[in-house]
Amino acid sequence: MSAIIGLLIAGIVLGILGRLLAPGEQKIPFWLTILAGIVGALVGNLIAGWVGVRDTSGIDWWRHIFQIIAAVVAVTLAAAFYPRARTHA
């Protein structure tokens, strides 16, 4: 249960950071921001494991950097593919 709560908190933090650092305006709902943050956390951990910096002594700066970059990409992709409400003129 604590892993789910931790992933949700990481999703919120990384999703917000992803939105702040992503170029342009992202017109996506908050739930999709959280989902993009969760994807960023998981993908960032995967990349950090491949590179060999997932678990280090002290703060895992490289893992966090990979997570933030992955969250920016996930938010950007979510904003690109999320259907926008269309106005009828």
Structure tokens at 76: 């950007």
Please report the pLDDT score of residue 87 as a whole number: 47
**Mean pLDDT per 10-residue run, the chain (89 residues)?**
89 95 91 96 93 81 94 95 64
Q: Is 27 exposed, middle or buried (0-12, 13-18, 19+ CB in 10 A)?
A: exposed
For 20-88, give the secondary structure using H, E and C. Answer: HHCCCCCCCCHHHHHHHHHHHHHHHHHHHHHHCCCCCCCCCHHHHHHHHHHHHHHHHHHHHHCCCCCCC
For position 60, what pLDDT does the model report? 83
What backbone torsions phi and psi does residue 26 show, to the nearest 5 degrees?
A: -105, 110
Please state, in angstroms and rounded to a whole number, the distance separating the CA atoms of residues 9 and 23.
23
